[in-house]
Amino acid sequence: MPKILTVGVAALALIACGDDPADGGSDTQIQVDSVEDTSASDDTAAPPDTTEPDTVEGCAEGTPCDDEDPCTSEDACDAAGLCVGVAVDCDDGLACTRDACAEGSCTHELVAGFCLTEGDAPTCANHNGADPANSCLLCDANSGETPAWIVLVDSAACDDGDACTSGEACMDGVCEGGEPVVCASDNSCRSASCDIDAGCVTTPVDGDCDDADPCTVGDACLEGECASGADMLDCDDGDACTEDACEPGVGCVHTPTTMCDDGDPCTNDTCQPGGTCTNEAFTGPCEDGDPCTSGEVCDAAGVCEGGSATDCSDDSVCTLDSCHPTLGCLNLHIDGGCDDGTACTTNDQCVAGACFGGKTNACDLCPVTQTDHANKITTLEVMGDGNPGSGLDVDGDPNTCAPSSGCGGGVDNALAPMAVLINPSINDSVNAGVVKWVVDLKDFDANAPFSFSLYDSSLTDASELAGCDFQTETCDYDVAQLSFDQNCEPYFEFDNAVVTGNQLVAGGVGKLISMVLPLEGGSLLPVTIANARVTATLILGADGKVTSMSAIIGGAIPKAQLVAAINGLSESALPIDKASALQLLDIAIVNDIDLDNDGIFEAASVGMRINTIPAVLLE
> What is the model's pLDDT at position 32?
29
Over residues 111-130, mean pLDDT: 88
> What is the model's pLDDT at position 583?
86
Which residues of 50-147 form beta strands (DSSP E)? Answer: 72-77, 83-87, 97-102, 105-110, 114-116, 124-126, 130-131, 134-140
Q: Each residue of 139-164: pLDDT tens digit? A: 998 877 888 888 988 888 888 889 99
In a domain, 106, yes or no: no
Over residues 20-48, mean pLDDT: 37
User: Domain ends where: 120, 138, 164?
Assistant: 164
Cα 168 to chain centroid, rounded: 28
Structural contact between residues 298 and 282, judged by C-beta atoms closer than 8 angstroms? yes
Structural contact between residues 331 and 319, judged by C-beta atoms closer than 8 angstroms? yes
Look at residue 483 and give its three-state secondary structure: helix
Q: Each residue of 520-575: pLDDT tens digit? A: 666 777 788 999 999 999 999 888 899 999 999 999 998 887 887 787 777 777 77
In a domain, 50, yes or no: no
Q: How many domains does the chain have?
A: 2
Place 237 in a pLDDT band, splitting at 50, 70 and 90: confident
> What is the model's pLDDT at position 282?
82
Over residues 356-372, mean pLDDT: 86
Over residues 195-218, mean pLDDT: 90
**Calpha distance 538→444 (Å, rounded):** 12
> What is the model's pLDDT at position 203?
94
**Is the pLDDT at 308 greater than 60, yes or no?**
yes
φ and ψ of 394, to 5 deg: -70, -40
Over residues 183-195, mean pLDDT: 93
Q: What percent of the chain has pLDDT over 70?
A: 90
Helix ranges (DSSP H) in 258-347? none
476-479 and 603-618 beta bridge pairing: parallel
> What is the model's pLDDT at position 23?
42
> What is the model's pLDDT at position 229?
86
In a domain, 519, yes or no: yes
**Is the pLDDT at 324 greater than 50, yes or no?**
yes
Q: Each residue of 589-608: pLDDT tens digit? A: 999 999 888 888 989 999 99
φ and ψ of 13, to 5 deg: -65, -30
**Calpha distance 221→228 (Å, rounded):** 9
> What is the model's pLDDT at position 65?
92
Place 209 in a pLDDT band, splitting at 50, 70 and 90: very high
In a domain, 327, yes or no: no
> What is the model's pLDDT at position 325?
81
What DSSP line would sit under 17-58, residue for residue? H---GGGT-SS----EEEEE--TT--SSPPPP--PPPP--TT
Q: CB count, 10 Å around CB of 539?
A: 18
Give strand pairing partners of 398: none
Q: CB count, 10 Å around CB of 201?
A: 15
> What is the model's pLDDT at position 614?
95
**Calpha distance 233→244 (Å, rounded):** 11
Q: Is 174 exposed, middle or buried (0-12, 13-18, 19+ CB in 10 A)?
A: middle
Q: Each residue of 470-490: pLDDT tens digit? A: 999 999 999 998 888 888 889
| Run of H or E residues at 329 | strand 328-333
In a domain, 509, yes or no: yes
Greater confidence, 523 or 195?
195
Place 355 in a pLDDT band, splitting at 50, 70 and 90: confident
**Calpha distance 213→76 (Å, rounded):** 80
**Is the pLDDT at 10 greater than 50, yes or no?**
no
Cα-based distances in Å from 85 to 35, 59, 91, 185, 510: 35, 14, 18, 62, 66
In a domain, 508, yes or no: yes
pTM of the model as a whole: 0.52
Place 56 in a pLDDT band, splitting at 50, 70 and 90: low
**Is the pLDDT at 423 greater than 80, yes or no?**
yes
Which of 10-24, 537-551, 570-584 comes out lowest in average pLDDT?
10-24
Query: How much is the mean pLDDT over the chain?
Result: 84
Give the list of residues 6+ apart from residue 190 with CB closer than 8 angstroms, or none.
202, 203, 204, 205, 224
Q: Each residue of 397-411: pLDDT tens digit? A: 999 999 998 999 999
**Calpha distance 490→190 (Å, rounded):** 54
Over residues 375-382, mean pLDDT: 95
Give strand pairing partners of 298: 284, 304
Over residues 113-120, mean pLDDT: 86
Place 269 in a pLDDT band, splitting at 50, 70 and 90: confident
Dihedral, CA of residue 117, residue 118, residue 122 and residue 125, to nearest 10: 0
**Is the pLDDT at 283 greater than 90, yes or no?**
no
Look at residue 200 and give its three-state secondary structure: strand
**Is the pLDDT at 50 greater than 50, yes or no?**
no
Q: Each residue of 61-107: pLDDT tens digit? A: 899 999 899 999 999 999 888 999 999 999 999 999 999 999 989 99
| Run of H or E residues at 256 | strand 251-256
Picking from 417, 377, 423, the residue whose alpha carbon sits closest to that of residue 518 is 423
Q: CB count, 10 Å around CB of 49?
A: 5
**Is the pLDDT at 40 greater than 60, yes or no?**
no
**Is the pLDDT at 353 greater than 80, yes or no?**
no
> What is the model's pLDDT at position 58?
64
Which of 34-38, 200-204, 581-585 comes out lowest in average pLDDT?
34-38
In a domain, 340, yes or no: no
Over residues 32-39, mean pLDDT: 35
Over residues 190-219, mean pLDDT: 91
> What is the model's pLDDT at position 214?
85
The parent domain of residue 118 ranges over: 112-164
> What is the model's pLDDT at position 371?
94
Give the list of residues 6+ apart from residue 289 with CB closer than 8 angstroms, or none.
265
Place 24 in a pLDDT band, splitting at 50, 70 and 90: very low
Over residues 47-70, mean pLDDT: 68
**Is the pLDDT at 19 greater than 70, yes or no?**
no
In a domain, 331, yes or no: no
Q: CB count, 10 Å around CB of 405?
A: 14
Place 439 in a pLDDT band, splitting at 50, 70 and 90: very high
Picking from 190, 217, 187, the residue whose alpha carbon sits closest to that of residue 203 is 190
**Calpha distance 534→473 (Å, rounded):** 25
Place 57 in a pLDDT band, splitting at 50, 70 and 90: low
Question: What one-character DSSP code corresponds to residue 481?
Answer: G
